[in-house]
Amino acid sequence: MSYSQGFPETAVNSKKVEHKKKIKKDKWVPYLFILPSFLIILGFLFYPIATVFYYSLQNYDVSAPYYNSFAGLDNFIKIFTQDEMFIPSLINSLKWVVSEVGLQLIFGMILALLLNQTFKFRGLARAVAFIPWAISGVLASVMWSMMFNEHMGVINDLLMKLGLIDEPMAFLASTSTAFGSVVIAELWRGIPFFAITLLASLQSIPNELYEAARVDGASRWKTFIYVTLPQLKNTIILTTLLRVVWEFNNVDLLFNLTGGGPAHSTTTLTMYIADLAVHGSNFGYGSALTVVSFGILLIFAILYLRLSRYEKE
């Protein structure tokens, strides 16, 4: 009798065990599906990053391999105590990022607000406004170098016809105008990024909020300040963070227009790293500068997201 009563319990327990085993097996299925993507990310992202951190602790110069050895923290000590170009290039990077991101945000916001209005040929206007974002950095560099050209540039021609200058200027060869010139060139290329993202966010704002503001007698400016901006807060925080990282690491337009000159007036930290690693072949010291650059951006991103209270009321 005890056997007949215990048999069903044994069967139930065995089924429970099998069910638990099946659940454990099913838990691994999603990880198997994402394994190829993880391996690709590991190979193309984490491995290069780990390599940079490794070489930052090495004396690794391709042009002088007989001096290659373990350096420890010597590269980092040299950066903060002996490198005369580190602080000036970092200051140039800060000037570059603040001017670019600030101006791109302002003009991108204005463009997004205009393109959000209803008017004839709005689709065509949006397509034309976003064209600069589709142009590569090299092509944009060629275009602006020709426009800034002292002898045949359209900018000199326009300024002379308007009576603002008496003779052609070499905008990219003067320390007083080179930085402002490359800021204008990158500004033209970067405005559509903010315009696209802000326009998409503007279209998601409920019309009821604007109707309530009109009923309360709010002006356009107050509607923008108290309705539009709060709704765009998270988008502005995220886009500015992404753009800060992008502009801090930007090198193509600066390299093609000025090469970091004249007199290092446009040499940002990224330009300095590229010059050391590519032209100087000093990959160890260049990697150490890259690690410092990564640390600066990481600290900024953490503080920025915390202070801006991203995704919090």
Q: What is the mean pLDDT of each run of 10 residues along the chain (313 residues)?
A: 51 60 68 84 84 88 77 90 92 94 94 88 87 86 90 88 86 89 92 92 88 86 89 91 92 87 89 82 88 93 84 57
Strand partners of residue 69: 59
The pLDDT of residue 183: 93
88 prior amide bond cis, ω within 30: no
> Hey, what domains does the chain have and what are their CATH numbers?
84-307 (1.10.3720.10)
How many Cα atoms occupy the beta-carbon half-sphere of 39 within 13 Å? 6
DSSP state of 282: B
Say how many C-beta atoms besides its own lie within 10 A of residue 281's C-beta. 14
What's the pLDDT at 102? 94
Does pTM top 0.85 for this prediction? no
In this prediction, residue 18 carries a pLDDT of 64
